Amino acid sequence: MNKKGQLIVISGPSGVGKGTVIQKYLASRDKIVYSVSATTRKPRPGEQHGVHYFFLSCEEFEQLAQQGGMLEYANYNGNYYGTPKAPVEQQRALGNDVVLEIDVQGALQIKKSCQDALLIFIAPPSFAELEARLVGRDTEDAKTVENRLNIAKQELKCAGEYDYVIVNDTVEQAIKRLEQVISANRYHKNNMKEFLDEVNQNA
């Protein structure tokens, strides 16, 4: 009905399970793609350039941002992270939904610049569980975990800026909730503008 794909922004504190939920959700669906971000942080073991992130130097990142190549970008815990603009626009024009997994600063930029974006916040069942997941993932040193938990406290306070809050208690439940929200949003008035304009033109 509507030709342009949805722009779906997903945030949540580090370790809440965003990556786990999103990858599982996307694996069994078509017409929906993951936006690969650029970052200046170092790859974790197993992370591949172009798949998990585009791993750039600071100079490369800043150049791309200055040229207007980022839909949004932010500094998170000492590193740049940003969404390359061109692939998002290309995919949406093809009618594919695009998922951005980005931090709160980036999401708030998108909220201002893209009125039709759907903003989803993934919350942990409790702060203690968040801490357990982040420590259990074992990808960061103790200092980085502490920094990420401090950032998480600030991010949790921003959940009210989002359209929907999904609790990741179990991955299966979180995926079900995500499916419901994304399906309903397809018929949000902001995503039906193109269709309504066409009907009105021919009235």
Under rule CB under 6 A, residue 124 binds ligand ADP = no
* Residue from the set 7, 56, 72, 108 that interacts with ligand 5GP by CB under 6 A: 72
Footprint of ligand 5GP on 20-59 (CB under 6 A):
37, 41
Footprint of ligand 5GP on 101-130 (CB under 6 A):
101-103, 105-106
Under rule CB under 6 A, residue 82 binds ligand ADP = no
* Residue from the set 20, 77, 144, 147 that interacts with ligand ADP by CB under 6 A: 20
Three-class HEC string of the chain: CCCCCCEEEEECCCCCCHHHHHHHHHHCCCCEEECCEEECCCCCCCCCECCCEEECCHHHHHHHHHCCCEEEEEEECCEEEEEEHHHHHHHHHCCCEEEEECCHHHHHHHHHHCCCCEEEEEECCCHHHHHHHHHHHCCCCHHHHHHHHHHHHHHHCCHHHCCEEEECCCHHHHHHHHHHHHHHHCCCHHHCHHHHHHHHHCC
By beta-carbon proximity to ligand ADP, the closer residue of 15 and 82 is 15
Q: What residue is closest to ligand ADP based on CB? A: 17
Under rule CB under 6 A, residue 12 binds ligand ADP = yes
* Residue from the set 76, 121, 162, 164 that interacts with ligand 5GP by CB under 6 A: 76
Which stretches of the chain bind ligand ADP, using CB under 6 A? 12, 14-20, 133, 136-137, 168, 170-171
Which stretches of the chain bind ligand 5GP, using CB under 6 A? 14, 37, 41, 72-74, 76, 81-83, 101-103, 105-106
